[in-house]
């Protein structure tokens, strides 16, 4: 578990002042080789399962995991692989696409706030309220559909949203919801390769649309938006993990390590049974043992 914490620490950002996205190589593997990782990941998944069981039994904390990335960075497959050994009854995965008309008639945090995990559960947001300072920042015309009053649609709008996000995540922490945010950092070259793979394989065609190619044309704008979002919202209580994503096997290993480290910080344990409960259990056991087949 100490190894997991050290691995996660390499990519953890909790003070954005000195963060630069260019300092993270999307192809980095820290010297690990793919053939080394399968066993490590499996042990990590087993440890996650143990921690999730304690989280559920203790029923005090909840954990919110946010995944953000460019298209084809591997969010879906990372979530699938890393959470494969966790009891599905204790995990909720929510994907947020373009907002509905109902959602547009509410504040920008409303649609995700409704989906926050209960105590004892892990909630996973595949995209999140961060879209409001990412895609909306790259395409400010989206604001036209949000019915905002002119008085609040000002030059400080995105500064205000960053302030609201920091306050919201501080509020979650104060109410027993741990927050871990993951940006899967894929290179433009690797995205191109994955797009071509989707086009060449009929069973993957459904994953590609012309809109994906259009957004690729805004690559530099998105990189600036992601860097600023991470810089402005990375805190000790709600850190970002900026993880190289050109090698999916390495991405999964680091995400698992970060989740383990986050859950370990919560000091989870199974509830203690008092004397009265132990007496009750002894009585129940004696009755069961006395039963005849």
pLDDT (0 to 100) of residue 293: 61
Mean pLDDT over residues 27-45, rounded? 91
The tens digit of pLDDT for each residue in 94-140 reads 999 999 999 999 999 999 999 999 999 999 999 999 999 999 999 99
Beta strands 12-13 and 240-244: pairing type?
A: antiparallel
pLDDT (0 to 100) of residue 211: 81
Distances in whole angstroms, Cα of residue 240 to Cα of each of 13, 36, 180, 232, 266: 5, 26, 6, 11, 17
CB 86 within 8 A of CB 48: yes
* Residues with Cβ within 8 Å of residue 68, at least 6 apart in sequence: 75, 127, 128, 130, 134, 181, 182, 183, 184, 226
Is residue 287 classed exposed, middle or buried when 0-12, 13-18 and 19+ CB atoms within 10 A define those classes?
exposed
Compute the half-sphere exposure of residue 24: CA atoms within 13 Å on the CB side of its CA: 26
pLDDT > 80? residue 203: no
pLDDT > 80? residue 209: no
Q: CA 245, CA 186: separation in Å to the nearest integer?
A: 5
Mean pLDDT over residues 197-226, rounded? 86
CB atoms near residue 90 (< 10 Å)? 19
pLDDT (0 to 100) of residue 267: 86
Tell me 180's DSSP state.
E
Q: Tokens for 202?
A: 């009929």
Distances in whole angstroms, Cα of residue 59 to Cα of each of 66, 172, 246, 268: 21, 16, 37, 10
DSSP H helical ranges for the chain: 2-9, 34-58, 75-82, 101-104, 110-113, 135-138, 157-174, 188-200, 210-216, 219-233, 248-265, 275-290
pLDDT > 80? residue 292: no
H/E element holding 88?
none
pLDDT > 70? residue 277: no
Q: CA 47, CA 250: separation in Å to the nearest integer?
A: 18
């Amino acid at each position: 578990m100490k190894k997991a914490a050290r691995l996660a620490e390499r990519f953890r950002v909790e003070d954005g002042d000195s963060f630069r996205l260019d300092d993270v190589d999307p192809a980095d593997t820290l010297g690990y080789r793919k053939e080394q990782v399968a066993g490590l990941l499996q042990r990590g998944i087993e440890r996650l399962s143990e921690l999730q069981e304690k989280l559920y039994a203790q029923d005090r904390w909840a954990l919110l995991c946010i995944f953000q990335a460019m298209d084809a960075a591997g969010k879906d497959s990372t979530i699938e692989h890393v959470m494969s050994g966790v009891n599905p009854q204790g995990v909720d995965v929510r994907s947020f696409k373009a907002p509905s008309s109902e959602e547009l008639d509410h504040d920008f945090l409303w649609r995700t706030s409704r989906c926050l995990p209960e105590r004892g559960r892990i909630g996973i947001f595949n995209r999140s309220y961060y879209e409001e300072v990412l895609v909306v920042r790259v395409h400010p015309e989206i604001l036209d559909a949000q019915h905002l009053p002119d008085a609040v649609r000002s030059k400080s709008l995105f500064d205000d949203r960053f302030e609201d996000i920091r306050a919201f995540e501080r509020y979650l922490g104060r109410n027993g919801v741990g927050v871990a945010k993951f940006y899967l950092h894929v290179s433009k070259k690797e995205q191109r390769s994955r797009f071509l793979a989707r086009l060449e394989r009929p069973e993957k065609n459904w994953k590609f649309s012309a809109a994906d190619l259009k957004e690729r044309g805004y690559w530099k704008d998105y990189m600036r938006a992601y860097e600023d979002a991470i810089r402005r919202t990375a805190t000790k209580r709600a850190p970002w993990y900026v993880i190289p994503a050109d090698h999916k096997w390495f991405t999964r290993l680091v995400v698992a390590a970060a989740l383990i480290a986050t859950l370990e910080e919560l000091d989870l344990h199974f509830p203690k049974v008092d004397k009265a409960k132990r007496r009750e259990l002894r009585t129940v056991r004696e009755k069961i043992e006395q039963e005849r087949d």
